[in-house]
C-alpha cells in the first residue's frame, strides 16, 4: 500500500489567511524554520495507479496539482477511485463541492456523516446533476469493507471504521447528540495482509476502541492539532481550549504523547496540525520532545509504503 500525505494542517491551513500569530507570520515572512501546509487529507493506493483520498479538503485542487499520480491519464478521467470521510467537518467535505465537473464520485462515509452533508444542503445539488454522479457507500462501525474500483471490482484495499471520541461539525452542533458515527478513525490494509495503517486525524481523548485499533496497526497517523490545552489563548488568537474543539493535545501530563510513546515500535506520525502548534517549528523544544518520544510530524508530500 502506498501512502501520501496531501495535507497535514488543521482547518485554516498553515499559514491561515486571517492569522498573524507568531507561526503564521513567521512562515509567511520566511523567518521561521517551518514548512507551509495545506489542510489535512491523505491519499492511499494499492498499486500506485488507483487512489483513494481520505477526506476532501478545501485545498483539494492544489493537492491534486502537487501530486502527479492524481492527474488524469486520459482526456477526461481521474485516478481517484473514491473518497472516504472521517467526519462531516467543513475541512473534510468542502473539497467534494469543488469536484463538481461532471465526474462520477464514490464517497465512503457513515450514514450520519452522509446525512450531515446532504440533508437540507442546496449546494449538494451541484453533485446531483446526473444519475450516478455520487455513489455513497455507507460505512458501518467495526465492519471491514472493501474499497472497490468501477464495476465493483476489488481494489485490494479494505477499511474498517472505528468510533473516535469527538464532536459533530460546528454547523451541525446541538442539532442531535453526538453518536459513534459522527467522528471515526480508519484502519486500512491490503486484503489478507498484516501491515495496516491507522488514520485518526481527529481524536478528543482516549477510548477503548481507539486503543484496540491502534494496537493492530503498523503505522499510525494521529491527531496532532494542538500541543497544549490553552495554546490558542497563548497565541492570542482566541479563547477556545483544545477540549472545546474536541482535540486531545499532545503535550502535558494528560497529553497523548505518553499514550503514543507506549505504541512503539509502530511508526507514529502527527497530522492535522493547527497553525498555533509549536511543533510546526523544526527547532522548537516541543518538536524535540515529540521526536524523543518517537513521534514524527507529517508534512505535505510525505510518502511511505506499507
Ligand atoms: Zn496562526
Under 8 Å between Cβ of 19 and 47 = no
Overall domain count for the chain = 1
Distance 30 CA to ligand 1 centre (A): 14
pLDDT score recorded for residue 305 = 96
pLDDT score recorded for residue 186 = 96
Distance 16 CA to ligand 1 centre (A): 6
pLDDT score recorded for residue 154 = 93
Distance 17 CA to ligand 1 centre (A): 9
Query: Is cis: bond before 15, omega within 30 of 0?
Result: yes
Give the global pTM.
Answer: 0.96
Q: List C-alpha distances in Å: 104 to 79, 101, 134, 297.
A: 12, 9, 6, 34
Distance 195 CA to ligand 1 centre (A): 36
d(CA 18, CA 205): 29
Distance 235 CA to ligand 1 centre (A): 8
Distance 217 CA to ligand 1 centre (A): 32
Distance 40 CA to ligand 1 centre (A): 16
Beta bridge pairs of residue 109? 138
User: What does the DSSP assignment read for 180-192?
Assistant: TTSBEEEEEEETT
> φ, ψ for residue 305 (rounded to 5)?
-120, 150
d(CA 305, CA 197): 10
pLDDT tens-place values along the chain, 306 residues long: 999 999 999 999 999 999 999 999 999 999 999 999 999 999 999 999 999 999 999 999 999 999 999 999 999 999 999 999 999 999 999 999 999 999 999 999 999 999 999 999 999 999 999 999 999 999 999 999 999 998 889 999 999 999 999 989 888 888 888 999 999 999 999 987 888 999 999 999 999 889 988 988 999 999 999 999 989 888 888 888 988 888 999 999 899 999 999 888 899 999 999 999 999 999 999 999 999 999 999 999 999 999
d(CA 110, CA 24): 34
Q: Which three cell numbers stand for residue 260?
A: 503514543
**Length of the chain (residues):** 306
Neighbours of ion ligand 1 (CB under 5 A): 19, 21, 24, 275
Structural domain of 49: 2-305
Distance 137 CA to ligand 1 centre (A): 36
Query: Tell me, what CATH number does 175's domain have?
Result: 3.60.15.10
Distance 27 CA to ligand 1 centre (A): 9
Query: Is cis: bond before 265, omega within 30 of 0?
Result: yes
Amino acid at each position: 500500500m502506498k501512502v501520501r500525505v496531501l495535507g497535514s494542517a488543521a482547518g485554516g491551513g498553515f499559514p491561515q489567511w486571517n492569522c498573524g500569530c507568531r507561526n503564521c507570520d513567521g512562515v509567511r515572512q520566511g523567518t521561521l524554520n517551518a514548512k507551509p501546509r495545506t489542510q489535512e487529507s491523505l491519499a492511499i493506493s494499492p498499486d500506485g495507479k488507483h487512489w483513494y483520498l481520505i477526506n476532501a479538503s478545501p485545498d483539494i485542487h492544489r493537492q491534486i496539482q502537487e501530486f502527479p499520480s492524481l492527474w488524469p491519464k486520459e482526456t477526461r478521467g481521474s485516478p481517484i477511485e473514491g473518497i472516504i470521510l472521517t467526519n462531516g467537518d467543513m475541512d473534510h467535505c468542502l473539497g467534494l463541492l469543488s469536484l463538481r465537473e461532471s465526474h462520477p464520485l464514490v464517497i465512503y462515509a457513515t450514514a450520519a456523516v452522509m446525512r450531515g452533508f446532504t440533508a437540507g444542503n442546496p449546494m449538494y445539488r451541484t453533485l446531483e446533476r446526473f444519475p450516478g454522479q455520487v455513489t455513497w457507500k455507507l460505512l458501518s462501525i467495526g465492519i471491514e469493507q472493501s474499497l472497490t474500483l468501477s464495476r465493483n471490482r476489488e481494489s485490494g484495499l479494505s477499511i474498517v471504521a472505528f468510533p473516535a471520541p469527538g464532536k459533530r461539525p460546528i454547523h451541525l452542533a446541538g442539532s442531535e447528540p453526538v453518536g459513534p458515527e459522527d467522528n471515526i478513525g480508519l484502519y486500512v490494509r491490503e486484503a489478507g495482509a498484516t501491515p495496516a495503517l491507522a488514520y485518526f486525524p481527529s481524536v478528543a481523548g482516549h477510548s477503548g476502541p481507539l486503543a484496540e485499533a491502534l494496537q493492530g496497526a503498523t503505522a499510525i497517523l494521529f491527531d496532532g492539532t494542538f500541543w497544549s490545552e490553552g495554546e490558542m489563548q497563548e497565541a492570542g488568537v482566541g479563547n477556545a481550549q483544545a477540549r472545546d474543539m474536541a482535540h486531545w493535545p499532545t503535550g502535558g501530563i494528560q497529553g497523548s504523547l505518553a499514550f503514543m510513546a507506549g505504541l512503539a515500535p509502530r511508526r507514529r506520525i502527527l497530522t492535522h496540525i493547527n497553525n498555533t502548534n509549536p511543533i510546526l517549528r523544526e527547532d522548537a523544544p516541543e518538536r524535540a520532545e515529540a521526536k524523543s518520544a518517537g513521534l514524527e510530524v507529517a508534512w505535505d508530500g510525505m510518502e511511505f509504503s506499507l
